[in-house]
Amino acid sequence: MQIVLNFLLMMAIMMMMRNLPGVQLAQLRRVWMQDHCQNGICSGIHIGRNDYVIMSQAPIAKQIMLTFVNSSIAKIPHLMFDTFPDLQVLRLENCSVETFERPQFDGAKLKELNLADNQLELLPPGVFATMRKLLDLNLAGNRLELFPRGIFDKNLNLTRVNLARNRFKVFESELFKMQPRLTLLDLSGLILQELTLNFPILESIVANNCDLRKLTVYGIVKELELRNNSLREIPHIPNASNVTSLDLSHNPLGNLQGNPLRRYTGLLRLNLSATNMHDLPEGVFKKQNHLKLLDISSNSLYNLKFIIFDSLKSLQYFYFQQNNWNCDFLQLLLNSFVKRRDISFMEDIVEPELVDDYIDGVACWYENTKSSRHCESGTLTDAALELSIVRNDIKTMMETMDKKFVKIYRILEEMKLRL
């Protein structure tokens, strides 16, 4: 009944406006949603920024989820939530949404709103205020540079927020001071060289590909995913004992001198893949008694002191492929530690012509002289160290080139959208 009244009211207003001098009205378009939607999937719908759309003649009940594909929608139709009064999930990924009308979300019962990969540049203050039940908000891949102050203050039930691949220069965790149930915050792809976050408690932070050089996190956080940044030191987290998962892969951390993991006593998963390591200090994992997964792959490690592994009593998965292992040391590592404790590991993908040997599928190299083929655990010859560093420099150069290609690709994509 309400949608019919809205339609009649709008028609009356437009009839009155037709008689006013100098007023030109866009053609009234009707979009019958039932012709485009089936089983919650809507396709082939095109709505311009200046179109006024009549969604349907009557409400469509019991429709809980709508996903739009192959559609170009510059704005969400004004009567969307009158047409679908029971809607809980709305997915409008890659639909060219540019703007919101106010009040855009009046009457919406949404729990999940996905607007990823659209063209939003600004959000009106209070645009989400009426959606008190909203749990999951995805704004990734838009053109947002800032948020109005207090924009999420009414969304007290938010648990998952994705802001990846936008254009924020700074990020303020104060935006989510009213969200005690927030479990996931994704900031991947934002260019943020320094980042400070302050949450009472947060399950997971994702900040991949951000060029981060310094990260500080106050409060309690359990999982951090920080792949492909520019971190040269472990994140500063006063309550680091609460962290259970830490992914620092593809960061230029180096050899982790000074035991920087000593406060991370609750770790279950640790990823140090491709972090420019060619050695590890003796006590680096001394406090990681509960660690179940350790990844030190894609570094320049040659051999290590076995005392490093003494504290890893709970280890179940150990990934150490794509290093510069000495074959004698690798044999000892597999027989005395990995196989003895029945720990899972992965084989190498290095081409056979580039290695001296494989041991259980893991690539390794011998030194040139016969006297050096016997591994003395914990020592590195000058020649082996030099070879390890050269291999690592080549890896680093290739990773830097990959990052630059990603940035160039992003710029080209943005230029394509503007054109």
Mean pLDDT of the chain: 85
Q: What angle do CA 360, 362, 363 make, to 5 degrees?
A: 130
Any idea what DSSP says for residue 110?
Answer: -
What local confidence, expressed as pLDDT, does residue 382 receive?
52
**Residues 173 and 79 occupy one common structural domain:** yes
190 in any annotated domain: no
What local confidence, expressed as pLDDT, does residue 413 receive?
66
Look at 356 and 403; give whichever has higher pLDDT.
Answer: 356
Amino acid residing at 148: P
CA distance 228 to 207: 9
Label residue 349 exposed, middle or buried (CB < 10 Å: 0-12, 13-18, 19+). exposed
What local confidence, expressed as pLDDT, does residue 360 receive?
95
Cβ-based neighbour number of residue 28 at 10 Å: 12
Label residue 36 exposed, middle or buried (CB < 10 Å: 0-12, 13-18, 19+). middle
78 in any annotated domain: yes
What local confidence, expressed as pLDDT, does residue 350 receive?
78
Nearest C-alpha neighbor of 364 from the set 378, 348, 376, 380: 348
**Residues 173 and 278 occupy one common structural domain:** no
**Residues 270 and 361 occupy one common structural domain:** yes
How many CA atoms within 13 Å lie on the side-chain side of 215? 28
The domain that contains 115 carries what CATH number? Answer: 3.80.10.10
380 pLDDT more than 50 = no
What local confidence, expressed as pLDDT, does residue 259 receive?
86
Say if strands 194-206 and 214-225 run parallel, antiparallel, or are unpaired.
parallel
328 pLDDT more than 80 = yes
What local confidence, expressed as pLDDT, does residue 206 receive?
98
What local confidence, expressed as pLDDT, does residue 313 receive?
94
Nearest C-alpha neighbor of 296 from the set 229, 350, 364, 345: 345
Q: Which of 141-150, 170-179, 238-247, 403-412 has the lowest average pLDDT?
A: 403-412
Question: Cα-flanking dihedrals φ and ψ of residue 330, to 5°?
Answer: -60, -40
pLDDT tens for residues 164-208? Answer: 999 998 888 888 989 988 999 999 999 989 999 999 899 999 999
138 in any annotated domain: yes
pLDDT average, residue stretch 3-20:
49
What local confidence, expressed as pLDDT, does residue 406 receive?
61
412 in any annotated domain: no
**Residues 54 and 174 occupy one common structural domain:** yes
What local confidence, expressed as pLDDT, does residue 368 receive?
58
Q: Which two tokens mark 150?
A: 């207090």
**Residues 300 and 176 occupy one common structural domain:** no
Q: What is the DSSP string of 132-192?
A: TT--EEE-TTS------TTTTTT-TT--EEE-TTS--SS--GGGGTT-TT--EEE-TT---
What local confidence, expressed as pLDDT, does residue 29 receive?
75
Percent of the chain with pLDDT over 70: 81
64 in any annotated domain: yes
178 in any annotated domain: yes
Distances (CA, A) of 271 to 110, 187, 293: 37, 19, 8
Percent of the chain with pLDDT over 90: 58
Q: Which two tokens mark 284?
A: 């680096």
Give the pLDDT band of residue 412 (cuts 50, 70, 90).
confident
CA distance 8 to 26: 17
Number of domains the chain is built from:
2
Nearest C-alpha neighbor of 25 from the set 9, 40, 13, 43: 13
Question: Cα-flanking dihedrals φ and ψ of residue 66, to 5°?
Answer: -130, 130
What local confidence, expressed as pLDDT, does residue 14 receive?
46
**Residues 153 and 277 occupy one common structural domain:** no
**Tokens 């009106």 appear where?**
124
Q: Which of 333, 349, 370 is the last residue of a domain?
A: 370
232 in Cβ contact with 253 (< 8 Å)? yes
Domain coverage including residue 131: 50-182
**Residues 177 and 269 occupy one common structural domain:** no
27 pLDDT more than 70 = no
pLDDT tens for residues 63-98? Answer: 999 999 989 999 888 778 888 899 999 999 999 999
CA distance 47 to 32: 12
Cβ-based neighbour number of residue 57 at 10 Å: 12
CA 198 vs. chain centroid, Å, equals 19
pTM of the model: 0.81
CA 273 vs. chain centroid, Å, equals 17
Say if strands 269-271 and 293-295 run parallel, antiparallel, or are unpaired.
parallel
329 in any annotated domain: yes
Give the pLDDT band of residue 11 (cuts 50, 70, 90).
low
Q: Which of 160, 182, 204 is the last residue of a domain?
A: 182
pLDDT tens for residues 391-410? Answer: 555 655 665 666 566 667 66
223 in any annotated domain: no
CA distance 379 to 350: 25
pLDDT average, residue stretch 360-373:
71
Which residues make beta-bridge pairs with 362? 359
Q: Which of 120, 155, 182 is the last residue of a domain?
A: 182
**Residues 177 and 54 occupy one common structural domain:** yes
Nearest C-alpha neighbor of 297 from the set 263, 269, 325: 325
Which residues make beta-bridge pairs with 37? 42
